[in-house]
Amino acid sequence: MRLVWLVLFRTVAASLSLVITVGRLLLQPLEEPSQADSLSLGVIITAYISTVVVGIRLRRGKAGRLDAWVQVVGDVVIATGLVYLSGGADSPLTFLYSLAVIGAAVVLDGRGALWVAASGAVAFSGLVVVLRLSSDAPLGPVLSSRGLFVLGSNLLALALIAVLAGYLARQLSATGGALSAREEDLRRLGGLQQQILSSMPSGLITCDAQRRVTYVNTAARAILHVEDGRHAGQPLEALLPGVSGLAPRSSRGELVVSTNHGQRRILGLSVTPLEGEPGALLIVFQDLTELRRMEEDLKRSDRLASLGALSAQLAHELRNPLAAMRGSAQLLAQERATDVVSLKLTNILVRESDRLARLVDDFLRFARPPEPMRREVHLDALLTETVDMLRADPLARDVRVEVSAQERLMAAVDPDQLRQVLINLVRNGFQAAGPKGEVKVGLARGEKEAQIRVWDSAGSITEEMMGHLFEPFFTTRDGGTGLGLSTAHSIIRAHGGTIRVRSAPAEGTEFVVGLPL
């Protein structure tokens, strides 16, 4: 880098010298330039060419310490030539030796500066002696007292400049090294800070006193579905609606927000004033949506377990009276076979007893589902067969049905119970979508599980309904028993799987059944 600066300086100096020399020649009367002018022009052009050559080598990455020595030695030679052409010992250009020494100190350190100073002293002394011996002056001492003074003062100046320039070069080098080390430490620290902010699982947002967003880390962008580079300068409320109510300080709070994709997120966050900037805030938050969903699932499971135990006992108590009632009605029908009215009434009793018995059986299947008879099953084949069977269902009329199985997956399940779950979910989708609606059934591999997705285009499940979907006797349609989803939930739990649901009017409703692989 120091050689680059020296080459740049020499290029500028040689260019200026060349321009000045040519301008002076052009301003003189039209006559042949003197020998001194021609030699001066030649020396300047030579210096310019040598500088350009080294510059090209630097650009190609081939320049080294030898090129630096060539440059500074060439500076001494050029200085000697210009001093010779401009008056020898009385030349006003003797300062060029000092520039050569300073350049050597910059690119070759203090020792190089001393060597160049010595070379300059020898060259200048030799030039002065040669000029004195070749002059027409009468014989006498080689140098007069004035000549000795000029020579001595120039040599002393070169020595002092060499020492001083060497010292300054060493100090500059040490300072530059320390500065480079500090810059590297700062760069490494900045990189580490960025890595920490990018790797931390919690979302982090900062804003200024005007509540304008100044920084959003990677986790926050992922949680809120914010595109990189489009958040700076946005109002804080646009990203976290309601967070201003927790400012300027909140150790812990919860906030429900909707992302740009329309997804609902539950955030646990803390708000802290940002030191060093009055009014600025630091918001750190975590996505609690999955945790709250698991808590709701656990509460629902506890409720269903308690309800199941009570339901099993109640169903058991109902089955015996129902059987007795049905038997008595059949006996009455046999004894009064000729009485049309009695026969009609007893038939009603038998029919309603059978209906109640079926309802009790459904209730028992929810309360105490039979242990799954597991065997390895091709889930894609089971899925396709079930949907093909349901295409003939009256509810599927005018509903567009799509089936997508990305790969063949096998799992240990009870095929009859899993088919019952699929029938419940797909028929619910048919009924929700209605004519001209759409239902998609898919199978894909998830993380250590097979995922069966049943989607309909209705999106008619509200937030209030979400917490009651899998409870028995909860239904939103006329004639429904409210046991379909609760039975499906019990079956999937018995398989060690999960069943989740999300719904939005703009995105539709999707049930996701996860079965362990």
Q: Which domains are assigned to the chain?
A: 2-180 (no CATH), 200-287 (3.30.450.20), 292-367 (1.10.287), 375-516 (3.30.565.10)
Q: What is the CA radius of gyration of the chain?
A: 48
| pLDDT at residue 439 in the model | 92
Is residue 467 a contact partner of residue 425, using CB atoms and an 8 Å limit?
no
| pLDDT at residue 301 in the model | 67
Q: What is the DSSP string of 280-327?
A: -EEEEEEE-HHHHHHHHHHHHHHHHHHHHHHHHHHHHHHHHHHHHHHH
- Identify how many contiguous H helices and E strands the chain contains and give both numbers: 13, 12
Region for residue 214 given its phi and psi (left: phi exceeds 0; alpha: psi -120 to 50; beta: otherwise)? alpha
Comparing C-alpha atoms, which of 492, 468, 500, 472 is closest to residue 307?
472
Q: Report the C-alpha gap between 336 and 342 in whole angstroms.
A: 7
pLDDT along the chain (517 residues), means of 10: 60 62 61 60 68 65 69 76 71 74 75 81 80 61 66 80 81 80 86 81 87 87 78 81 77 78 79 84 86 75 65 68 75 70 76 77 66 88 90 87 86 90 90 89 88 88 77 69 78 88 85 90
One-letter amino acid for residue 22 of the chain: V
Q: Report the C-alpha gap between 281 and 154 in whole angstroms.
A: 66
One-letter amino acid for residue 41 of the chain: L
Count the alpha carbons within 13 Å of 330 in the hemisphere toward its beta carbon: 10
Helix (H/G/I), strand (E/B), else coil: 171:
helix
Overall pTM surpassing 0.85 (yes/no): no
Enclosing H/E stretch for 503: strand 498-504
Ramachandran angles phi, psi of 298, nearest 5°: -65, -45
Q: Report the C-alpha gap between 116 and 123 in whole angstroms.
A: 10
Q: pLDDT tens-digit profile of 325-343? A: 777 777 777 776 667 777 7
Residue with tokens 């001083």: 164
Tell me, letter by letter, the H, E, C secondary structure of 346-374.
Answer: HHHHHHHHHHHHHHHHHHHHHHCCCCCCC
